[in-house]
Amino acid sequence: MTGGIREGERVAESQLAERLGVSRTPVREALQRLESDGLVRAQGRGVRLWMLSGDELAQLHVARAGLEGWAAFLAAQRVASGEVAPARLAELETLAAQTHELTTAGDLARAVESNRAFHETVAALANNPVISNTLERWWDQITVSTRKSLHNPERTQAVDAEHEVIIDALRQGDAPRARAAAEAHAFATRNALNKHQPETRRTS
């Protein structure tokens, strides 16, 4: 997630075991889990980082739009029924503001983390572990595949405005509007990435 493994770099099982001070068995099990999550590909007794192609990343954002839209819908329903504490919505506002401030300041690595926390908090408000766990895996793939190409986004103001629409819909308990806002935001992100990553390659 932090970019410590370079694109195309092979990570050996034995090297990881030695570095972490553990046997190869837990390392092997961890690498198998990372492979099942689509983050690495096995190569001999080691792995290589797996980068999604531009088309795969676009498809992932389409799927993300649907699932995050549904999460926002459920979250808004819970707000309307009084199941969400005001402090949780205030947390969303803080994360949205933090994301905007970090992006504007050019601290893109931290902005990515703050933005992800915003979206995962929306998902958490839906109170559906299946949705949260699935989105967590998808966000791992998105983070790995886009971190190398971080750039000062042209959409800084638009992203902030889109986050505010999501928050407002949640505060109003307007489930259809929250769903539409979350979906539109994910599609806008996909379109922006398509402009900047037309030829993203996979590394096997």
- Note whether 78 and 170 are same-domain residues: yes
For tokens 């000062």, the residue is: 152
Cα 130 to Cα 148: distance, rounded to the nearest angstrom: 29
Q: What is the reported pLDDT for 153? A: 61
Residue 202 lies in a domain: no
Q: Cβ–Cβ contacts within 10 Å for residue 77, how many? A: 17
Q: Model's pTM, two decimal places?
A: 0.81
Give the count of beta carbons closer than 10 Å to the beta carbon of residue 202. 14
- Its domain, for residue 31, covers 10-49
Give pLDDT, residue 148: 57
Cα separation, 79 vs 118, whole angstroms: 17
At 43 the pLDDT is 79
How does pLDDT run across 168-199, given as a tens digit for each residue?
A: 999 999 999 999 999 999 999 888 877 765 44
Structure token pair of residue 25? 């068995």
- What's the CA gap between 90 and 107, in Å, rounded? 23
pLDDT value for 122: 97
Q: Is 73 in the same domain as 108?
A: yes
Closest CA to 149 of 187, 193, 118: 193
Pair 101, 121 in one domain? yes
What is the domain count for the chain?
2
Let me know whether 35 and 129 are in one domain. no
CA distance 117 to 121: 6
In degrees rounded to 5, what are phi and psi of residue 40? -140, 165
74: number of CA atoms within 13 Å, CB side?
A: 18
Average pLDDT per block of 10 residues along the chain, 204 residues long: 74 86 88 82 80 87 96 98 96 96 88 93 97 93 72 76 97 98 94 64 40
Q: Tell me, yes or no, whether 166 lies in a domain.
A: yes
Q: Please choose, from the candidates 139, 141, 138, 182, the residue with its C-alpha nearest in 3D space to the C-alpha of residue 159.
A: 182
> Is the domain of 111 the same as that of 151?
yes
Q: Which two tokens stand for residue 129?
A: 């572990």
Query: What's residue 54's pLDDT?
Result: 84
Please, are residues 181 and 72 in contact by the beta-carbon 8 Å criterion? yes
Phi, psi of 3 (to 5 degrees): 85, 15
Q: What sign results for the dihedral spanned by CA atoms 6, 12, 15, 17?
A: positive
The CATH number linked to 120 is: 1.20.120.530
pLDDT at 197: 56
Q: 80 with 111, same domain?
A: yes
> Are residues 42 and 91 located together in one domain of the fold?
no
The per-residue pLDDT for 45 is: 76
Residues 74/80, Cβ–Cβ less than 8 Å: no
* pLDDT tens digits, one per residue of 15-30: 888 888 999 888 888 8
Handedness of CA 62, 169, 110, 188 (dihedral sign): positive
